[in-house]
Amino acid sequence: MHTITHQHELREVLHDACTSGTSIGLVPTMGNLHAGHMELVKTAKASTDCVVSTIFVNPLQFGANEDLNAYPRTLEADKNKLIALDCDFLFAPSVEDLLGAYPQQQSRIHVPGLSEGFCGSSRPGHFDGVATVVNKLINIVQPDKAFFGLKDYQQFLVIRKMVSDLALDVKIIGVETLRAESGLALSSRNNYLGAEQQQTAALIYRCLIDTAASIKAGDRDYNNLETSARDRLAGAGIKPDYFSICNAINLQAAAESESQFVILAAAYIGPSRLIDNIRFELGD
């Protein structure tokens, strides 16, 4: 695996390495890699000829009350994991290389509508930061496909819409969430939790499963289902941010006649804010 830290060098290396007909897969990450990230790389390896993973702790997606400096940086361990999967390139730029000397003066991309609820409300400007850096990585790497975990379903939709709106020549691939045996979605933020807290946090997924089952059984009182789930989480010592039953395409509140659902959840436990979701269609 070749590790590259400057965007101009990456462009040159990819130009030399990727001959005509070579397909490129992009796996953007912020590092502190876990099995979920590895699944993205495996999926990319299976469907493209050359895989570029990126590790960049993006300051543009952190809010004023979020501690950018506390985000875990485990570059050497991450490299070893990528090497074990035979990843072709690791792009690990500095902030200055990717965003210049004054990141806060960086031009931003805003994706209206999909960016503005849920995590967009809780973390103002977060998705502008995500969209800006993902757009920049796509422009640098020029991949045929880019791979994103579906655990952050809102982010996936935001990126997919950005790519469509800006006519970027890349296919966005969603990869299903990997889970611990308890059902807890794998996340770098789980590292902040003790073993008991991780078991408690698994209740988030159980609430999603149970709420989806109620809808499939014919319950259409979505407000009551959402309230019951939030109360159940709070009763276990988990602080809900949101628990919302939505249309899976546009994230609007689900209508009574809805057929394609996503239930989005975010909650605080200990020092971590965890997100999860479940998607289903009636008749599944």
pLDDT band at 284 (very low <50, low <70, confident <90, very high): low
pLDDT band at 26 (very low <50, low <70, confident <90, very high): very high
Burial string for 11-42 (b: 16+ CB within 10 Å, else e) reads eebbeeebeeeeebbbbbbbbbbbebbbbbbb
The pLDDT tens digits of the residues spanning 191-209 come to 889 999 999 999 999 999 9
CA distance 159 to 30: 16
Q: Given a cut of 80, is residue 151 above it in pLDDT?
A: yes
Give the CATH fold of the 188-278 domain.
Pantoate--beta-alanine Ligase; Chain: A,domain 2 (3.30.1300)
Catalytic residue among 6, 37, 110, 126: 37
Rounded to 5 degrees, what angle do the CA atoms 250, 255, 256 make? 155
Ranges of each domain in the chain: 2-175, 188-278
Token pair, residue 205, equals 């997924």
37 catalytic per annotation: yes
The angle, 0 to 180 degrees and rounded to 10, between the axes of the packed helices 126-141 and 153-165 is 60
Rounded mean pLDDT of 149-176? 98
The pLDDT tens digits of the residues spanning 229-260 come to 999 999 999 999 999 999 999 999 999 999 99
* Cα 223 → chain centroid: 27
Rounded mean pLDDT of 125-139? 97
Name the residue among 70, 54, 50 with its Cα closest to residue 62: 70
Reduced to 3 states, what is the DSSP secondary structure of residue 236?
coil
Give the CATH fold of the 2-175 domain.
Rossmann fold (3.40.50)
Name the residue among 234, 223, 251, 270 with its Cα closest to residue 111: 251
